[in-house]
Amino acid sequence: PVEAWLLGPSNYQSVSLPVFQGSTYTVEVSKFPKVFGLSSGLWSSCHPACSIHGFCHNGSCLCYDGFWGDTCSNVQCNNDCWQRGSCLPNGTCVCGSYWSAGGAGKYQLCQPENLLSAGNCRDAPVTFDSHSGCHIASCKKDCNGHGECTSQGCNCDVGYSGLACEIKPCPHNCRSHGVCRNGTCQCRDGFIGDSCEWPNSTNIVSHGCSKISPVLCHESSQPACAVSRGFCSLNSSSSDSWLSDFFSVLPLTARNGTQVLSSSNPASAGNVIDGNDGSGGFWQSGQCYPFGYIQDGWSNLVLGACVMGRCAVGSGNVNSSALVAATDGDTTTSVSVPLVNGLASFSISLGRARNLSAVSARLVLTGFVQAVGITATSARVVFGNFTASYSQVNIDLGNVTGIIALVLESTRSFSVFEVSTREGPCSEYVTVDFGGVVKVSALTVRHWAGSVSGSVDRTLYESSVDGVSWAVIRDNISPFLLGSLDTEVRPAVSCRYLRVRHILHEQSSVKLFIWEITAWDEFGKYGPSRSPSINHVSLKDLLGVNGIWAWGGMGWSNLAFPHWGPNRFSGMASHARNYHNWNWDVTDPNMTPDYESMSCGDGTQSNWWLSWDWEYAGWNAANLEVDACIQFTTSAFAQSKFRNAYAAGFDFGYSFAKHFGKTYGTGLVTHMEVGNEPWMVGVGYSDPVFYSDVLLGMARGAKAADPTMRVLPASFSNSDVPARVNRTHLEYIDAFNTHAYSYLQSERGRTGIYPEHNMSSLNEVDWMLRFRDANAPGLPVYLTEWGWDSDGGGEGCGPPPERAGDANFPECVSETAQAAYAVRGALVLSRKGLARLTWYFYGNQEVTAATWDQSKGLFARSGLVSSASTGFRRKQALGALEVLVSTIGHTYFMGVLREDAEAYVYMFGDGNQTVTHIVAWRPVDGDDNRTMNISIELQAQPVEAWLLGTSVFRSLPLPCTDGSHLTIQISAQPFVVRLLPVSVGNFIVVLSVILPTSVSEYRLRAQNILKELQVFTGSRGVVRALKLGDSESVELVFQRDNRNALCVGFKILTPGWNDARSLVSSLSHQAISSALVASGTSPMVSFRATPRVVVSFSADDQFPGYQQQGPISCSLSARWEDLVAYKLEDRNRACAGVCQSRVITGGLSAASSSPGIYEVWVCVSLDIPNLTCTNAGLLQADLIANMMCFRYEESAERFDYWGSNADLALVDENSASCGQCLPT
């Protein structure tokens, strides 16, 4: 042997020759074949170069790895140029041009025939980098050093963008509050800061404040900087105590003096108003059949008849009072009926004709006693015979009509223990007596008729003023409900008695149950509706979405493709809320998270793979602010694991805010919540003090690390907040937090309902708002979970296949309804004054047999997209919210034009003084396709109209207008009208009132905010105005002292209804007709702010020279945008007439210092001596000289004071004309 090598390995491997021993060779063998070349083989010589990068074998050059060719002199290319080019001898690839064929890195070589037609071959063929062996696509400018060149092109570093990563990022992508211009944020109106992080309207890290105390408090007379919004509210609260009872609305059934009556078992009847429909007590009836009704005066027609003188023995010669025992409901006392002239007879008058269904009696007899009914015509109807003594016997009659008297007779004497009769089937009931007449607008009742099918006919609710005549509120209710049932009573009924009655089938022996009856007054289950006021948060900034790590994907969100993960929701949300589990960061709550190690790629102490930096960076890149809900439950951290709850909370809060906060950290998180729902049964903490300690520690720790971190407590049920949060916490929190969904209790169970329904549980937010107003005025309230379940996206509301027999879960609405409710809910909640609305959930969840058994599908279909199993398909609600944000997301709620059972009409605008949009809809089920026409009193020009609540933008024809009214066809989907800008302020409305002698007070109740009140009084008396604040509901009281007239002016009166009333002192708060209120004489005169400046005045010695008796109104017509900003500095001139000059347009360049800006002028007189309607046109020269002149400034869209006519000489006697005077 002259050579040895191996076969089998991927490259040539030479081995040592075998050992020769005598006549044999010793060979070492293995799994690889070993070859020996013998000297007798045929060998040829190779090229000398072969020995450099290979070896000669049998005349052929075998090359080492990395070389190729006949002489092994060519350098091998990387992976044969990845089959995208040709390999040169020096090892360099010459790459071809390709076009993407299906994505995912698949390419096809550009051929001559497709260079002009196929995809990128025509436009921009993909070329590959020769240095990478045609593996990596060529990247322009090598991604500018801000990204990695991959086979897909540049993969830019976080924040950078563009094909070559050439676009420089702005800090935090301007947080969706501005536009990025070459690395610098240009913030939109309302936001300031390097990354537009601070809302300018709330002046956070504002002028004069530091990052240590970044919040400027406006609530006090001396503005000061504070660490939180809660600290500001502490200083503005009028009480030092924690008012915990402002949540609840006291039901009528819980008021003192309420009593309960029942058809049977009266001892337990009081349980139905104990306020507990679950574990509390209940009322259980007796057995109405066959004799249980005897003691029930409503069912037993003759109970007490003998006391009332309606009984007789024989021909009536026995005093009826001696017969009382026969109808007293006591079956142990008796009356003897003697034999008279061969006949023993006992009769009872029924008072009027009745339709009898049964007669019962307990008798002592010999032989038999016959029961007979007497009709109005004295006809006898034989019912049957009683034959048993000492036994209660019932005779079923079916339905015998027209009976006016009942007679028992026999040829032998007998005794009567008790006689009873009833009309119709038996009833069992409970009656609530309020002690007086009240108004009832809502009921919640929990009742049950047992599980015996066919035992009960139906259940009904009834009301009565006197306990005799009853009106049905709701009928044909299923008796076999297990849960509560809500009933809206519209219109509200006036009653003293409220009854829940079960009607049994004949001879049914079941016992019936009522757990609870709850009734509310005319304001409903959730109390009076809040008065509307301007919401200073735009719709866009209100809306957010609840997400989760990776948004259902398998990787961090910073790797999400466009339109996936958090990027799916950037079109409708300004923020996203994450359930950030405490135990994902540490395995022990007493450990402090090491987020700095995490940022270096080491993960968290609990999860080596976890990087919140990577995750939240993806959320920020999608223009979503991050609200991290620090979630902790008993299943993760039992209360016993906390050595010190306060200290554990402080350490976590400090570490979290220091790393993720804006001041010293990454700035990835703006808000943190201390817990989610810590009260939740099974996973929460029953000890309120424990949570209170964690909250205080975590909030203090977060503020100590970064005062700019916004801290919220967890969400609580209405009664849970006072137990877990107190005034000490307020110093460190920035908002209250709550969850609410739109349900009511129907016969199907808890059922999804539209947001405007008076009994919708979405109104629970009003409880939190009332609590906030009482304890922390001005503190924002966040609704961090709300929404509706729906079908759609390829997924329904039904059970999984394993539970196919179950019904769909009733909380789930249709996909169409979810889309409409999402938009309408946002509008309604904006009107309520919420500061954030975070939709739950981003996507549907899988429904399995296990999850169905646990929750019956609840929240599994609440997503804006479908679940992963159907590919995260968009649902209509996502598109509907995107349309809302893209069209009116920049606007603010400004007021209500209408809000009733037929129509909702809201105003939206710039949040200041200009209305730009009207939104109107029917407050009905989202699947209700009916429409109706409404008229809106509004002097504004519509310029565009479209529909909301649908997944795509739908333009609509403009509504009809006659100059003062808009006529709109509305439906369940909101109708939007864009208007020419409508000013709602900067003018004076003056209201003149003559008070009759009997009236001592004048009241003005305003639904909208009134400002800058001016009260003009005379010398004969004093009119006192109470202080006018900026509260949402304003009522002004003016008390008269020897004066008959009153003139009141308001500089700002926003559009909306305002009620004027005069009150009689002897009849407190009873509205009567005043002689003149505005322009009418009704007890309640409503008026709106209109595009007309109205000045009213009355004859009074306050205005010398006026001799007229009665008030006069003069008016100056003007467009909304042309309203004059009057400056009434002299109160003695306030109630004067108004005169208008001839309006001149254009031609002001010679008179104005700013040519082209001012195009309209107007001059008015506010002091017109001796003006009457007969001489109004006779203007004196001094009057014209003293006119005040205004010019219209185009950019500000208002009139500015220009000067007096004496200086400007704009009006002369020949050109002036007076406004028309109208006697009122």
Instruction: Render 1002-1054 in DSSP notation, one character per residue.
Output: EEEEESS-EEEEEEE--TT---EEPPP---SSEEEEEE-SS-SEEEEEEEEE-
Task: Find the helix packing angle between 765-775 and 815-832, rounded to 10°.
Answer: 20
The count of other CB atoms within 10 Å of the CB of residue 259 is 12
* pLDDT for 1086: 26
Question: What contacts 151, CB < 8 A, 6 or more positions away?
Answer: 105, 135, 136, 137
Query: How would DSSP label each residue in 245-289?
Result: GGS----GGGSTT-EEEESS-GGGGGGGGSS-SSSS--EE----T
Contact at 8 Å (CB) between 1010 and 1025? Answer: no
Among candidate residues 836, 781, 827, 832, the one with its CA nearest the CA of residue 626:
836
* pLDDT for 1149: 35
Contact at 8 Å (CB) between 709 and 673? Answer: no
* pLDDT for 96: 78
Q: At 780, which amino acid appears?
A: P
* pLDDT for 237: 64
- The mean per-residue pLDDT over the stretch 736-760 comes to 95
More confident residue, 1002 or 288: 288
Residue 1120 has pLDDT above 60, yes or no: no
pTM for the full model?
0.66
The count of other CB atoms within 10 Å of the CB of residue 346 is 27
Contact at 8 Å (CB) between 458 and 503? Answer: yes
The count of other CB atoms within 10 Å of the CB of residue 513 is 18
pLDDT winner (highest mean) among 2-16, 634-648, 1159-1173, 1175-1189: 634-648
Residue 784 has pLDDT above 50, yes or no: yes
Tracing tokens 């708060």 back to the chain, one arrives at: 1069
The count of other CB atoms within 10 Å of the CB of residue 11 is 10
Cα diameter, the chain: 158
Q: Is 342 helix (H, G, I), strand (E, B) or coil?
A: coil
pLDDT band with cut points at 50, 70 and 90 for residue 153: low
Supply 702's token pair. Answer: 């977060």
Q: 113: exposed, middle or buried (C-beta count within 10 Å: 0-12, 13-18, 19+)?
A: exposed
pLDDT winner (highest mean) among 591-605, 624-638, 721-735: 624-638
Q: 737: exposed, middle or buried (C-beta count within 10 Å: 0-12, 13-18, 19+)?
A: buried
pLDDT winner (highest mean) among 983-992, 1043-1052, 1134-1143: 1043-1052
Among candidate residues 937, 933, 999, 1009, the one with its CA nearest the CA of residue 970:
933
Query: How big is the chain by its Cα radius of gyration, in Å?
Result: 43
pLDDT band with cut points at 50, 70 and 90 for residue 238: low
The count of other CB atoms within 10 Å of the CB of residue 208 is 9
Residue 549, strand partner residues:
none
* pLDDT for 1056: 39
Contact at 8 Å (CB) between 495 and 437? Answer: yes
Residue 1139 has pLDDT above 50, yes or no: no
pLDDT band with cut points at 50, 70 and 90 for residue 973: very high
pLDDT in tens, 851-887: 999 889 899 999 999 998 898 999 999 999 999 999 9
Query: What does the alpha-carbon distance between residue 1192 and residue 343 come to, in Å, rounded to a whole number?
Result: 106
pLDDT in tens, 442-490: 999 999 887 777 788 889 999 999 998 999 999 999 888 888 999 999 9
* pLDDT for 664: 85
- The mean per-residue pLDDT over the stretch 649-666 comes to 93
Query: What does the alpha-carbon distance between residue 740 and residue 836 come to, in Å, rounded to a whole number?
Result: 13
More confident residue, 469 or 138: 469
- Pick from 168-172, 620-624, 645-649: least confident: 168-172
Residue 733 has pLDDT above 80, yes or no: yes
pLDDT in tens, 394-438: 999 989 999 999 999 999 999 999 999 999 888 899 999 999 999
Among candidate residues 1010, 1221, 1048, the one with its CA nearest the CA of residue 1135:
1048
Query: What does the alpha-carbon distance between residue 817 and residue 659 come to, in Å, rounded to a whole number?
Result: 42
Q: Is 853 helix (H, G, I), strand (E, B) or coil?
A: helix
* pLDDT for 1001: 58
Establish how many alpha carbons lie within 13 A of residue 632's alpha carbon, considering only the half-sphere containing its beta carbon: 28
Express as a percent the part of the chain with pLDDT over 70: 72
Tracing tokens 């009482």 back to the chain, one arrives at: 774
Task: Find the helix packing angle between 815-832 and 876-888, rounded to 10°.
Answer: 40
Contact at 8 Å (CB) between 280 and 459? Answer: no
The count of other CB atoms within 10 Å of the CB of residue 59 is 10
- The mean per-residue pLDDT over the stretch 1073-1077 comes to 26
Backbone angles phi, psi at 1000, to 5 degrees: -110, -15
* pLDDT for 199: 54
Kind of pairing between the strands at 736-739 and 781-786: parallel
* pLDDT for 902: 95
Q: At 433, which amino acid appears?
A: D
* pLDDT for 85: 82
Query: Which strand ranges, in their side-by-side order, compose the sheet holding 736-739?
Result: 710-713, 671-674, 625-631, 575-581, 543-547, 836-839, 781-786, 736-739
Mean pLDDT of the chain: 78
Residue 1044 has pLDDT above 80, yes or no: no
Query: What is the separation, in whole angstroms, between the first and last Cα of the chain?
Result: 133
DSSP H or E run through 386: strand 380-386
Express as a percent the part of the chain with pLDDT over 90: 44
pLDDT winner (highest mean) among 707-716, 959-968, 977-986: 707-716
Query: What does the alpha-carbon distance between residue 59 and residue 757 come to, in Å, rounded to a whole number?
Result: 95
51: left (phi over 0), alpha (psi -120 to 50) or beta: alpha
Among candidate residues 825, 812, 821, 984, the one with its CA nearest the CA of residue 895:
984
Supply 106's token pair. Answer: 């698949």
Among candidate residues 698, 644, 641, the one with its CA nearest the CA of residue 674:
698
* pLDDT for 576: 97
Residue 947 has pLDDT above 90, yes or no: yes
pLDDT in tens, 536-562: 999 999 999 999 998 987 778 877 677
More confident residue, 330 or 160: 330
pLDDT in tens, 347-405: 999 999 999 999 999 999 999 999 999 999 999 999 999 999 999 999 999 899 999 99
Query: What does the alpha-carbon distance between residue 453 and residue 430 come to, in Å, rounded to a whole number?
Result: 22
Query: What does the alpha-carbon distance between residue 1204 and residue 1219 come to, in Å, rounded to a whole number?
Result: 19
Residue 1063 has pLDDT above 90, yes or no: no
* pLDDT for 572: 96
Residue 51 has pLDDT above 90, yes or no: no
* pLDDT for 1192: 58
Among candidate residues 267, 206, 194, the one with its CA nearest the CA of residue 232:
206
Among candidate residues 772, 946, 1003, 683, the one with its CA nearest the CA of residue 236:
772
- The mean per-residue pLDDT over the stretch 674-694 comes to 87
3-state SS, one letter per residue, for 188-244: CCCEECCCCCEEHHHCECCCCCCCCCCEEECCCCCCEEECCHHHHHHHHCCCCCCCH
* pLDDT for 591: 95
